[in-house]
Structure 1
């Protein structure tokens, strides 16, 4: 298997750059699978939060194909969901994760974010997340530097909530069109539910997959700016065990940084 073209650290953050997103996804998926095996060898149950986005396709395919994992001892969550889409809408993140992972590996417990009253959903999902520590988070970074749906206008590194209702930034909504998830921006919901940044950062191990030229500005910002909610992803540099897997399209010239 090809080695990364570049290995570096940015404060606490481990950064690996690969030639293309296929190699990135394979390496990231194998690293996450190894972490999951180690956790399962050490404890009865592993709790994981997953992102749902095209940037995760190659990573999830590798993870789904990994052997020697007892998925019956995995409890799975996802980190965000649109408000206002019908329960059977193919754009719902729960459907993406079922197609790409959950229906393949069959985790012992899967907690999908349901439709319904947003306040009630937040309270009930927060209670599920808070039952025990989260072991792993598998996430991406938005074009505006968001983590989950914590866009710059609503991101809070000290948020007291576990999950909250947010208004989606126009850049974030346009990204959903750019990614091919919606035909035009007026079809993209204006509000969503998201786990907060402290909830994601509380996990003991983070894997972050960010491929593609559309993410280049976000990757540059997350590695170069001060830690700031102007680019929420900068906070990943403060986590004690977070790895960024990216490709040349997203990272840019290998002399950068």
Structure 2
């Protein structure tokens, strides 16, 4: 059984299982992409990575979507990691969905570019030229969206893409999800779309399963809107839907 609630502008849907949550999010994203294609003949999409996105991407890959009319961006990438590294977000997206669906165009954020500033400028320009119809994101254990951790999050960021230093909680999450063998192997910096970039998107699908995210989910919904929990800003966006499973929703008061 699905539970529905609304907090400020944020629509929240709670599903019993992660599989059901992923399927519902895929349906929502499919609908938004189809609407954009029907309206203007093409669509622009941002995809997220991480363990939280597994079931959603599995479901999205199975949906009837005209990928040849879709341009894809992604949220972030570690600095100085190649696209063959097991933890690379470019590799993650290629392996889990993009190689299978073959979109019209993919804009990858290259964390190992020789000139990082030029890479970020190029990516920001591509975003300006492709207004995003829907962004698919998650929420970190520390409440971050993309790699906008509390110490670097800015709700009025003048940049669309920036280089950030990851906080300890964020790096511990990457270690805990199994992407790196030791804490010291987790990169200290990453390139990320800013909160400004995310809020500029017409619609946002936010997929957040698992009990380890339950506190961040509670904070997102019920704490003051500030950068102590960057995801709280989603409550101000006009077209965001938060997809939870029973575990990630476990701290929400019935």
Structure 2 equivalent of residue 20 of structure 1: 17
Q: Flag structure 2 segments of 5+ consecutive residues without an equivalent.
A: none
Q: Compute the displacement of 1:20 (Å).
A: 1.6
The match for 1:250 among 244, 248, 251 is 248
CA distance in 2, matches of 1:105, 1:246: 25
Alignment partner, residue 120 of structure 2: 122
Deviations 1:111-147 (A, max 9, x none): 1112212211111111111113111100000000000
1:95 aligns with 2:91: yes
Runs of 4+ in structure 1 over 6 Å off: none
Give the stretch that moved more between structures: 115-124 or 157-166: 115-124
Aligned match of 2:105? 109
d(CA) in 2 for partners of 1:249 and 1:162? 33
Aligned counterpart, 2:168: 170
1:79, 1:87 → 2: CA distance? Answer: 15
Distance 2:174 2:228 in 1: 20
Indicate the residue corresponding to 1:71 in structure 2: 67
Give yes or no for contact 2:19–2:55 (8 Å, CA) kept in 1.
Answer: yes
**Could you report, residue by residue, the CA deviation over 1:157-212 in whole angstroms, capped at 9, with x for unpaired residues?**
00000100000010000000111111221110000000000111101110000000
Q: How far does residue 35 in structure 1 lie from its aligned partner after superposition?
A: 1.7
Calculate the TM-score normalised by the size of structure 2. Answer: 0.97
Q: Report the counterpart of residue 212 of structure 1 in structure 2.
A: 210
Residue 132 of structure 2 corresponds to which residue in structure 1?
134
1:157 matched residue in structure 2: 155
In 1, the alpha carbon distance for the partners of 2:251 and 2:36 equals 36
Structure 1: stretches of 5+ with no match in the other structure = none
Give the equivalent residue in structure 1 for 2:37.
40
Q: What is the distance in 2 between the residues matched to 1:217 and 1:70?
A: 37
Structure 2: how far apart are the matches of 1:233 and 1:253? Answer: 16
2:129 match: secondary structure: coil
Could you say which residue in structure 1 is the equivalent of 2:234? 236
Aligned length: 252
Alpha-carbon separation, structure 1, partners of 2:56 and 2:14: 14
Contact 2:83/2:89, CA 8 A, preserved across alignment: no
Please report the TM-score for the alignment, with normalisation by the length of structure 1.
Answer: 0.95
- SS for the counterpart of 1:194 is strand
Helix, strand or coil: the match of 1:203? Answer: coil
Measured after TM superposition, the shift of residue 44 of structure 1 is 1.5
2:194 maps to which residue?
196
